[in-house]
Every structure is written in C-alpha cells, then in structure tokens.
C-alpha cells in the first residue's frame, strides 16, 4: 500500500512518462481482474425483441455491461466524421470566436458554450465543489512533457444539436430498447456529453458516483439514479478508459475520500477498466463508483455518453449537478426534454429507412408533430441541453 502523504507530495513532481510507468502494473492487474467479470458480449434480444433477461440480470448484479459491436461501420464513420468536425470547429482557445483556421467557431449561436477546455492532464473536478462536490479526491495531475497547448478540449455538449450523426444515434432502436428494459417504457433522458481524452493530454475524471438526489430517499434502490451509455468511437484501453468498481452501485453513498485514503492512493485495488473496441457500447449504473486517470498513453479516447432515467426518479425533483439552476422537473419539462428522443427516432428513420424504428411510448400518437424537420429543430432541438434532467 502506498503512503498517501508520499503520493500527495509526489503529485506535482510526477511527469507524464513517470505516470505512465507507474500505471503499467496497475493496468496489468486491472486487466486480469476484468476478464473473469464476464459482463460483455453482443447485444442479445429475447423472442419478443426485448433485451435478453440474462443480460439484464448480469447488469443488475454487477452494475455494468459491455455490448460488443453495436454500432456498425457506416454509422461509426459518420459519427467519427461529425465529431472530428466539431472538434476542428472548436474555438482556437477558450472564449475565442474563431476556430484554428479562422472560421467562426461552432456553438456561437448556442445558449451555452458547448466546448469545455482543461489544462492538459489535469483533473478539473476532483477535490472541488463542482457538480455538487461529488468528486471529493483530486487525481494525480502529471506534468506534460511535450510542447502542449495551455488548454485542451475535454467535453463536447449539445451533441444532438451540433451533429446530425449524434441525433440519429440518440434514436438508435437497440439502445432505446435497453433503456426501456432497464428504466421502463416511459423512461426519460438525462443528458449527453462527449468525453475527449486526447493522447498524452486528456484529463482525469476523479472517482465519483453520478447520482446526487436520491441517496437518502425511502425509495432508494439500485436503479434509482439511472444509467449512462458510452458509445466508443475508438479503441478504449485501460490507460485511457473508464474504470469502475463492479457491484459498487449497491453500496449506497460511498465515502470515496476514505476509500482512497485507506488505499493510500487513487489506484483502487478492486477497480477494473472497461476495455472496448470501436462500436462497442458500455452501460454503467450511475451509482457505480467510477472514474478515469490522466491519459498519459499514446491513444486518444472519444466516448459519446448518453444517460437515461426512470420517469419516477425525475418527476417533481429539483435540478441537481448545478446544470440548470434549481428548475423543478414537472410533467411539462419532462415532456419537452423527452421530445428530443421522439425527433431523434424520426431523424434516424429518415436516414435508415430499412431499419425498424423504435416506438417510444410517451410519444405514441404524436409522431406527426415530432417529425425531424426545420420546425422541430427550432422547437425541440435548439438549445435542448438547457432542458436536461439531472438528478
Ligand atoms: O469517461 C470518462 O472518463 C468519465 C465518464 C464519467 O464519469 C461519467 O460518465 O459519469
């Protein structure tokens, strides 16, 4: 066990290559721990086309699953192209109006800035009060060795507005079918964000549990804070990927600071990496203890993160995670945000006419009003993130 005071003292002095070297044995052990977990495989449906109950059982037991090869090559190409374009169109530096080529940056007409930047290899949330202080420990922030820019892209938001391929992904029938199996047929959205973990520059996301609302609720259970998908656009390795502590979604609100201190450092011994190929989709319970380390590897990771809740978990709740300043989530608010799903389903159906479209129960009979067109772009999609449902 490492001495935590030594770890703390060494933080500032850790170079990128020292960090990568120190991660190597932990990665080897974590990879060994990950393989018997068995929570991976192709997406299997039962005879009625619903998620196979065996997978649901495994998901409920361990709190995660890796669905292999869900996103086909053609769709993956269009997602990569749109995301690459959004990255290219980022402000040349935080707050700038133009991109690196002098073109107007994307997002100038969005209600909120869709790009977040951080210092290379930093941990922007750990040890701060941001997002309800749910990241109590700051991760190691290695010193970059290369000639790196002062600020690097970290998060992309408003993704269904900015990228047609992401809007279509949001209407994916199999992903929505999983959301239905886990959260019920009247499931509702949470938010979407893309984590960009650039090779040798990407920041850490400190250990945390996502949910903040229902820890003390008399109705608390394993699924009350919903789940997140991550659609992986490139290979996801232990060095750049998300790590989770399997089964920790069952433990209630964990004292993360104590766990890390008792361990003598951030490399938790029971965590495993979610290793994925391009096109794989992970599902992780939002109560899971999870995080990712500074990316001192040579591989970038781009993860399209899409969350869903049970309707009952959200209805009547006040916005959390400081996302929309204290809004109450009434029926109308939930309906307006859920309409993004209805429009996404139609956008997808127009693009992939031979695919069976998902039938989203809350919008049955309203399909004509939620066709994908210029009107619904203005009415439903423009600035939709300001209507997120964060608990
Ligand atoms: O992908 C990551 O590195 C972090 C993801 C995460 O923390 C989340 O989805 O809540």
Q: Is the CB of 390 under 6 A from ligand 1?
A: no
Q: Is the CB of 205 under 6 A from ligand 1?
A: yes
Tokens of 44: 């299997």
Q: Where on the phi/psi map is residue 93: left (φ > 0), alpha (ψ -120 to 50), or beta?
A: beta
Q: Any idea which residue has 């423009």 for tokens? A: 382
d(CA 55, CA 65): 8
Q: Is the CB of 245 under 6 A from ligand 1?
A: no
Tokens of 74: 């053609």
Query: How does pLDDT run across 60-93, given as a tens digit for each residue?
Result: 999 999 999 999 999 999 999 999 999 999 999 9
Inter-residue contact 305 to 229 (CB < 8 Å): yes
Q: How far is the CA of 63 from the centre of ligand 1 (A)?
A: 15
Q: Please provide the average confidence, as pLDDT, over all residues in the chain.
A: 94
Query: What's the domain range around 237?
Result: 4-387
Q: Is the CB of 292 under 6 A from ligand 1?
A: yes
d(CA 263, CA 381): 45
3-state DSSP call for residue 91? coil
Whichever domain contains 269, its CATH number is 2.60.120.620
Q: Is the CB of 240 under 6 A from ligand 1?
A: no
Q: Helix 331-351 and helix 173-183: axis angle, to 10°?
A: 150
Q: Is the CB of 282 under 6 A from ligand 1?
A: no
What local confidence, expressed as pLDDT, does residue 320 receive?
86
pTM of the model: 0.95
Q: Helix 53-62 and helix 173-183: axis angle, to 10°?
A: 60
Q: DSSP character for 139?
A: P
Q: Which of 358, 296, 367 is nearest to 24 (CA)?
A: 296
What local confidence, expressed as pLDDT, does residue 280 receive?
98
What local confidence, expressed as pLDDT, does residue 62 receive?
96
CA 319 to chain centre: 18
d(CA 133, CA 110): 27
What local confidence, expressed as pLDDT, does residue 9 receive?
38
d(CA 22, CA 268): 14
d(CA 197, CA 220): 33
Q: How far is the CA of 284 from the centre of ligand 1 (A)?
A: 10
Q: Is the CB of 195 under 6 A from ligand 1?
A: yes
User: Average pLDDT for consecutive 10-residue bins of the chain (391 residues)?
Assistant: 36 84 97 87 87 95 97 98 98 97 97 96 93 92 89 98 98 96 97 97 97 95 98 98 98 97 97 98 98 98 98 95 78 98 98 97 98 98 96 94
3-state DSSP call for residue 22? helix
What local confidence, expressed as pLDDT, does residue 322 receive?
64
CB atoms within 10 A of CB 354: 5
C-alpha distances (whole Å) from 144 to each of 119, 120, 155, 360 are: 10, 7, 19, 47
Q: Atom 7 in ligand 1: which residue has the minimum CA distance?
A: 291
What local confidence, expressed as pLDDT, does residue 5 receive?
36
Tokens of 204: 């850490």
Q: How far is the CA of 288 from the centre of ligand 1 (A)?
A: 11
3-state DSSP call for residue 189? strand
Domain count, the chain: 1
Q: Which of 164, 277, 161, 274 is nearest to 228 (CA)?
A: 274
Cβ burial, residue 18 (10 Å; 0-12/13-18/19+): middle
Residue 330 neighbours by CB under 8 Å, 6+ apart? 315, 316
Query: How does pLDDT run across 79-135, given as a tens digit for each residue?
Result: 999 999 999 999 999 999 999 999 999 999 999 999 999 999 999 999 998 888 899
Q: What is the DSSP string of 308-352?
A: EE-HHHHTTPBP-TTSSTT-B--HHHHHHHHHHHHHHHHHHHHHS
What local confidence, expressed as pLDDT, does residue 45 receive?
86
What local confidence, expressed as pLDDT, does residue 324 receive?
60
Q: How far is the CA of 72 from the centre of ligand 1 (A)?
A: 23
Query: How does pLDDT run across 30-50, given as a tens digit for each residue?
Result: 999 998 777 999 999 888 878
Q: Is the CB of 192 under 6 A from ligand 1?
A: no
What local confidence, expressed as pLDDT, does residue 52 receive?
95
């Amino acid at each position: 066990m490492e001495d935590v005071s030594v770890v703390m003292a060494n933080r500032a002095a850790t170079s990128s290559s020292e960090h990568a070297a120190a991660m190597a044995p932990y990665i080897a052990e974590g990879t060994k721990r990950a393989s018997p977990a068995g929570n991976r495989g192709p997406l299997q449906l039962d005879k009625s086309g619903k998620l196979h109950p065996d997978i649901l059982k495994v998901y409920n037991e361990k709190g995660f699953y890796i669905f292999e090869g869900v996103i086909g090559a053609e769709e993956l190409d269009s997602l990569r192209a749109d995301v690459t374009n959004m990255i290219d169109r980022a402000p040349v530096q935080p707050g700038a109006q133009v991109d690196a080529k002098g073109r107007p940056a994307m997002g100038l007409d969005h209600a909120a800035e869709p790009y977040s930047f951080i210092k290379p290899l930093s941990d922007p949330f750990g040890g701060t009060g941001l997002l309800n202080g749910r990241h109590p420990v700051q991760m190691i922030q290695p010193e970059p060795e290369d000639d790196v820019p002062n600020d690097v892209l970290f998060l992309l938001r408003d993704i269904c507005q900015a990228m047609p391929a992401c809007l279509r992904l949001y209407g994916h029938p199999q992903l929505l079918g999983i959301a239905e199996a886990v959260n019920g047929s009247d499931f509702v959205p949470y938010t979407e964000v893309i984590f960009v973990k650039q090779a040798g520059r990407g920041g850490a996301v400190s250990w945390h549990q996502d949910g903040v609302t229902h820890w003390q609720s008399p109705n608390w259970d394993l699924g009350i804070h919903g789940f997140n998908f991550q659609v992986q656009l490139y290979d996801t390795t232990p060095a750049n990927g998300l790590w989770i502590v399997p089964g920790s979604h069952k433990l209630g609100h964990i004292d993360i600071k104590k766990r890390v201190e008792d361990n003598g450092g951030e490399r938790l011994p029971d965590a495993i990496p979610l290793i994925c190929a391009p096109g794989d989709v992970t599902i992780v319970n939002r109560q899971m203890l999870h995080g990712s380390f500074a990316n001192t590897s040579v591989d970038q990771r781009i993860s399209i993160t899409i969350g869903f809740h049970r309707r009952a978990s959200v209805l009547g709740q006040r916005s959390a995670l400081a996302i929309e300043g204290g809004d109450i989530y009434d029926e109308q608010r939930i309906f307006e945000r859920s309409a993004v799903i209805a429009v996404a389903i139609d956008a997808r159906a127009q693009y992939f006419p031979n695919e069976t479209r998902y039938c989203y129960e809350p919008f049955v009979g309203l399909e004509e009003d939620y066709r994908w067109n210029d009107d619904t772009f203005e009415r439903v999609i423009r600035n939709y993130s300001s209507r997120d449902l964060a608990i």
